[in-house]
Amino acid sequence: MGFAAIVFQTGAGIMALAHSFRVLMIGRHLEGIGIGFGVMVAPVYIAEISPTVTRGSLTSYTEIVINLGILLGYASTHALQWESCQARLVLLKTITNDNAREVDERLAEMQEAAGKAKLEGKSERAVWGELFTRMLITGIGIHCFQQITGIEATVYYGPEIFSEAGIKSKSRLLAGTVAVGFTKTVAILVAITLIDKLGRKPLLYVSTIGMTACLLGLVLSLAFFKHGQAAVGFAILFVCGNVAFFSIGIGPICWVLTSEIFPLQLRAQASSLGVIGNQLSSGLVAMSFLSVSRAITVVGTFFIFSIFSSLSIHFVHKAVPQTKGKSLEQIELMFEKGEETLRGEVELGDLEHLVHNDN
């Protein structure tokens, strides 16, 4: 994380002092490398040190900080009264578990998993061969679907979407864009309260179905209510709805899942592949949106996003397991034996929830 911070800040400094487009792009690439390291390491580290019953919500804080940054980015160039701003440090309460028995059990599980991680006598090819399993399909797939459903286009090019709906005033465009960022941030706070109560998979269903409905609604409103008050209202409603459904489900859960599902000996390598898929998909959407929109219109582009979003529903149903209340070691066992073999058993995660609720 320290290395990621240094690289990121170096890139930001170069961008701030850039005197040409080439220098600006050098800084942007360095910043991207720092971001890549950060988003790979942070969720994995948080998942490894968190108690099972709160692992999902704690890991989701990565997405909160990202959304806060996006919201601040929207407003920063229009709010220059820095003297009235005060920096606030929010200290998150950490829930410690004093149950010595659980600590011993978790330590035993971790030691057993670590014993499998020695990888003695295995070639590099064999190690990487283990990645091509259902875990890898789930991890990379959820990362790619997080981006190819068009969230980056919605966030980056909100003003273009609202202009297509008929908003011409710069102040109204700014208000609509800030509303999108605010909605995205509030929705992730809702996700934190639900992710360990409802579980990952139910929230993913709500998220992907809701996003698909909002994207189709946006397509229909832009196609049939051109440049009228109805088009403006529906555009704001469906764009905010899209980012809200994204932030209560696939947005944070993508990072939670990839920090949970991979075995200890492969977690770092596999998580890095997920991040690569995420960033490549994000870059593809962000860089191609304007050119594709000019070719097939904004309506056509978002119709494609709605198709990908509908496919993500099927992917969640087929490839994503329910990991709520399970230790990292149990999740590895679940992938090895399948969910059906564990059905009907009284699992440690369920007992932990009971103990946690009783206390």
pLDDT of residue 207: 93
Tokens 């061969």, residue located = 129
Backbone angles phi, psi at 105, to 5 degrees: -65, -45
Mean pLDDT of 236-253: 90
Whether the pLDDT of residue 251 is over 70: the answer is yes
Q: 29: part of which helix (H) or strand (E)? A: helix 21-49
Is the distance from CB of 257 to CB of 200 less than 8 angstroms? yes
In this predicted model, what pLDDT tens digit does every residue of 160-181 receive, in sequence order? 888 877 777 777 877 888 888 8
Model confidence band, residue 149 (pLDDT cutoffs 50, 70, 90):
very high
| pLDDT top residue among 15 and 348 | 15
Whether the pLDDT of residue 14 is over 70: the answer is yes
In this predicted model, what pLDDT tens digit does every residue of 86-133 receive, in sequence order? 444 444 444 445 555 666 666 666 655 555 545 444 555 554 455 456
Mean pLDDT of 250-274: 80
pLDDT of residue 244: 92
Q: How far apart are CA 327 and CA 201, in angstroms?
A: 16
Q: How far apart are CA 304 and CA 296, in angstroms?
A: 10
Residue 164, Cα to own-chain centre: how many angstroms? 28
Lowest mean pLDDT among 114-128, 151-165, 242-256, 282-296: 114-128
pLDDT of residue 300: 92
pLDDT of residue 40: 64
pLDDT of residue 154: 86
pLDDT of residue 302: 92
Which domains, from first to last, does the chain contain?
98-113+123-358 (1.20.1250.20)
Q: Is 77 helix (H, G, I), strand (E, B) or coil?
A: coil
Q: How far apart are CA 56 and CA 59, in angstroms?
A: 5
- On whether the pTM is more than 0.85, the answer is no
Mean pLDDT of 204-208: 93
> Which residues have C-beta within 8 Å of that of residue 285, sequence separation ≥ 6?
147, 148, 150, 152, 153
Quick one: 164 exposed, middle or buried, by C-beta within 10 A (0-12, 13-18, 19+)? buried
